[in-house]
Amino acid sequence: MEKAIFYPFLVFIFLITMVGGWIPTIKMWSKSTFRMIISFCAGILLGAVFFHILPEIGDVLGGSMGYSVMAGFLMIFILEKFIMVHPCEEGECNYHKIGLSAYVGIGFHSILDGMAIGAGSLMDLSTVIILAVTIHKFPAALALSSLLVRGGEYSRKKILISMFIFALATPFGAVLSLVIFQGLTEQVVAVALGISAGTFLFISTTDLLPTVYEEHESREYKNLVSLCLGILVMILSKGIV
């Protein structure tokens, strides 16, 4: 992807994240609408992994591809379960007080998203990963901002400042990765993309989908349709990007 297009896309990611963080300060969305969005995003991430990233890096890494994917999966697992404060225990509450560890964890995760974009640009996958990250960042910002609003401990100004920092993390990671990966071998870049694939898998299967289906009454066909639509978008995009 040319730099003339690459950087405007980063600005777009920043703006869409800010919009997601701004909406809950104005009006909270219904759980039904939010679950449909989450399902669609999970489909986008799964489709990006299985139909774009893995086929691309498989040609480079061969049988060793699984190591980098597993490393990314375990990295986010350890980060969420042992370092950062998770917003909610399974189906138990609407929000918890978020401390510094949560912001560090969420910020680090956003930087990883940006690094995935930068690595993807070196293997002709930038457009695909930007699409996956962009669609993922919107509900992530929406959920984080909603959490802060429901907590009632933060002013609207403080929430928007927090979301501004959160929105900057992914573009920062993308620019940083261009500096780090530029000139490195294709194998190193493929490993970085494998790690990104692992993080996408964890986010979709253990964060997004359980959020939608943790309650019996949420098991509606429209959520499944949204999931399949997200996957279909990535399948159809194979012939375009």
Work out the average pLDDT over 219-232: 84
**37 located within any domain:** yes
**Mean pLDDT over each residue of the chain, to the nearest integer:** 76
**183 located within any domain:** yes
Whether pLDDT at 11 is above 80:
yes
pLDDT number for residue 153: 65
- Residue 225 in tokens: 């349709």
**11 located within any domain:** yes
Whether pLDDT at 167 is above 90:
no
**27 located within any domain:** no
239 vs 18: which has the higher pLDDT: 18
Q: In terms of residue numbers, what domain contains 132? A: 3-21+32-239
pLDDT band at 150 (very low <50, low <70, confident <90, very high): low
Cβ neighbors of 226 (< 8 A, separation 6 or more) are 36, 37, 39, 40, 43
Give the separation between CA 235 and CA 51, rounded to whole angstroms.
6
Number of domains in the chain: 1
The proportion of the chain whose per-residue pLDDT surpasses 70, expressed as a percent, equals: 75
**C-beta of residue 42 within 8 angstroms of C-beta of residue 230:** yes
- Rounded to two decimals, what is the model's pTM? 0.70
Q: How many CB atoms lie within 10 A of CB 70?
A: 14
94-137 pLDDT per residue, tens: 434 444 444 555 667 677 778 777 777 777 666 777 777 777 67
Give the separation between CA 58 and CA 108, rounded to whole angstroms.
26
pLDDT band at 13 (very low <50, low <70, confident <90, very high): confident
**118 located within any domain:** yes
**26 located within any domain:** no
Tell me, rounded to whole angstroms, the distance of Cα 202 from its chain centroid.
Answer: 10
